[in-house]
Amino acid sequence: MKNMMIGQSGGPSPAINASLAGAVQYAMASGQIGQVYGMLHGLEGLLQRQVVSLSDQIVTALDFELLVHTPAMALGSCRYRLPKDDKEIYAQVLQILQHYNIGYFFYCGGNDSMDTIANLSAYFRSQNADIKCIGIPKTVDNDLAVTDHTPGFGSAARFVAASFSEIMIDSMAYPAPSVTVVEVMGRNAGWLTASSVLARAHGYTGPHLIYLPEIPFDHTAYIEKVREKLKTERHVVVAVSEGIRSKETGRYVSEKDSGEVDMFGHASLGGVADVLKTLAKEQLGIKARSIEPSVLQRVGMHLASGTDLREAQEVGVTAVKTALLGQTDVMICIKRVSNHPYLVRYETTPLENVANHERKVPLSWISEDGTNVTEEMVDYLRPLFRGETHVNYEDGLPRFFRINQEKLV
């Protein structure tokens, strides 16, 4: 019986460990897989033989329950990309996998990772090594092609939406008019910033302006929009993607740590929200503040989406099922079957359809003036962030699962 190896790559997300839990649990119960191994820090760790036995370390129902509700990456991540032409590295990877008698190889990550698996798999085939290679999608950015959405996105979207609710209620505490600019993750694709729209519920009207990186940012138009909104809203809340670029220069509106000055001659303040806040303050003479929730967006497990965590587990399960059916060189996809009721199906797509592609927000889902999203976007987003999760708290703090990274095998 062949063994399996699984690894994680790219940026942390609240759902990547749920996929790990799903895959490991299904593999262990299948009776068709011997040992379940995990590589620490992705392929970078694998090359250093940093391998642990997940069969030995994730055992009880509580272990799995905790792992599902642990943010970031239990196995550790890497930003390592296999050098495409260095066949020696590929040979090393194969040798290590053969050492562990691996027949099934799973890698969880974004489009870079899918490219990595595709290259590895091609090499394995060229060496007549029968190792099924399956990609497990994840990214809070939701920018992978083919799949309707990516595990991790719904949870980050819920954190963003709930944070906007809270920030709005915080703004409304004071009588004086104000502008609050909140910076959301997503350098090239605006999905997560768009999800701030979900906070427009329960009678709250904000965010009032939403700026996605898909639309070049017009400084003058922004000031006019804020001025206009302030006529009807005492407290204007603005959602802005970290990756918006200036319409005039094509450069990031805020180039962090660049030491350069922006188009208004101000020094870069370290964040785009700060730039937009300062613009509003100086040009409109209004009380303004900026908020940058930063990595809390991708690790806020207490606000993870129940739907997302469930789907992430299913994606992990489906990855193992698919490999056991003899498929290889595919990534698991979520296909939305219907929206009312919300139903999905798990499918596969060839890795090459995902590798190195980046799915941006369709321009037809952005309002004409570039400061809002359409009802289609809201319909798309709404089911993804629903559902609560049960985080285990112990002594006031969320309890997370930890893999013992010292116990190498």
Which residue, 158 or 359, is less far from its own copies as judged by CB?
158
Q: Please report how close the Cβ of residue 302 comes to its own copies at its closest, in angstroms.
A: 5
3-state secondary structure of 192: helix
What's the CA gap between 62 and 70, in Å, rounded?
12
Q: Please report how close the Cβ of residue 47 comes to its own copies at its closest, in angstroms.
A: 12
Angle between helix 111-126 and 87-99 (nearest 10): 80
Binding test (CB under 8 A) with its own copies, winner from 132, 229, 235, 298: 298
3-state secondary structure of 241: strand
Long-range contacts (CB closer than 8 Å, 24 or more residues apart) made by 251-259: 253/217
Q: Please report how close the Cβ of residue 218 comes to its own copies at its closest, in angstroms.
A: 23
The number of beta carbons lying within 10 Å of the beta carbon of residue 200 is 17
Give the CA distances from residue 241 to residues 181, 184, 233, 252, 295, in Å, rounded to whole numbers and listed in that order.
10, 5, 22, 11, 14
Binding test (CB under 8 A) with its own copies, winner from 101, 188, 278, 374: 278
Stretch binding its own copies (CB under 8 A), from 55-63, 139-147, 287-295, 345-353: 287-295
What's the CA gap between 7 and 20, in Å, rounded?
9
The number of beta carbons lying within 10 Å of the beta carbon of residue 233 is 17
Q: How many residues in the shown chain lie near its own copies by CB under 8 A?
A: 67
Residues 187-226 touching its own copies, rule: CB under 8 A, are: 198-199, 201-203
Q: Is residue 312 a contact residue for its own copies (CB under 8 A)?
A: no
Please give the structure tokens belonging to residue 134.
């399956």
Calculate Rg over the CA atoms of the chain.
22
Question: 112 Cβ partners below 8 Å, 6+ apart?
Answer: 9, 10, 81, 356
DSSP 219-286: HHHHHHHHHHHTTT-SEEEEEEETT-BBTTT-SBSS-TT---B-TTSPBP-SSHHHHHHHHHHHHH--
Which residue, 195 or 318, is less far from its own copies as judged by CB?
195
Q: Please report how close the Cβ of residue 114 comes to its own copies at its closest, in angstroms.
A: 19
Which residue, 81 or 360, is less far from its own copies as judged by CB?
81
Q: Is residue 129 a contact residue for its own copies (CB under 8 A)?
A: no
Q: Please report how close the Cβ of residue 385 comes to its own copies at its closest, in angstroms.
A: 5
Binding test (CB under 8 A) with its own copies, winner from 165, 178, 318, 372: 165
Residues 242-271 touching its own copies, rule: CB under 8 A, are: 257, 267, 269-271
Query: Distance between the two ends of the chain, CA-based, in angstroms?
Result: 18
Stretch binding its own copies (CB under 8 A), from 93-101, 126-134, 164-172, 185-193: 164-172
Binding test (CB under 8 A) with its own copies, winner from 67, 120, 167, 210: 167
Catalytic pick from 115, 141, 274, 329?
141
Q: Please report how close the Cβ of residue 407 comes to its own copies at its closest, in angstroms.
A: 14
Query: Please, are residues 111 and 144 in contact by the beta-carbon 8 Å criterion?
Result: yes
Q: Is 141 a catalytic residue?
A: yes
Query: Please, are residues 83 and 329 in contact by the beta-carbon 8 Å criterion?
Result: no
What's the CA gap between 262 and 259, in Å, rounded?
10
Q: Is residue 291 a contact residue for its own copies (CB under 8 A)?
A: yes
Q: Please report how close the Cβ of residue 50 comes to its own copies at its closest, in angstroms.
A: 9
Stretch binding its own copies (CB under 8 A), from 213-221, 222-230, 283-291, 315-323: 283-291
Binding test (CB under 8 A) with its own copies, winner from 156, 194, 239, 303: 303
Q: List residues bridging with 180 in a β-sheet.
A: 237, 289
Please give the structure tokens belonging to residue 210.
């939403």
Query: Please, are residues 40 and 53 in contact by the beta-carbon 8 Å criterion?
Result: no
Binding test (CB under 8 A) with its own copies, winner from 172, 223, 284, 324: 172
**Residue 124 identity (one-letter amino acid):** F
Q: Please report how close the Cβ of residue 236 comes to its own copies at its closest, in angstroms.
A: 16
What's the CA gap between 51 and 291, in Å, rounded?
40
Which residue, 99 or 402, is less far from its own copies as judged by CB?
402
The catalytic residues are: 141
Residues that bind its own copies (CB under 8 A): 11-12, 41, 44-45, 70-73, 76-79, 158, 161-163, 165-167, 169-170, 172-175, 198-199, 201-203, 257, 267, 269-271, 274, 278, 289-296, 298-303, 305, 382, 385-388, 393-400, 402
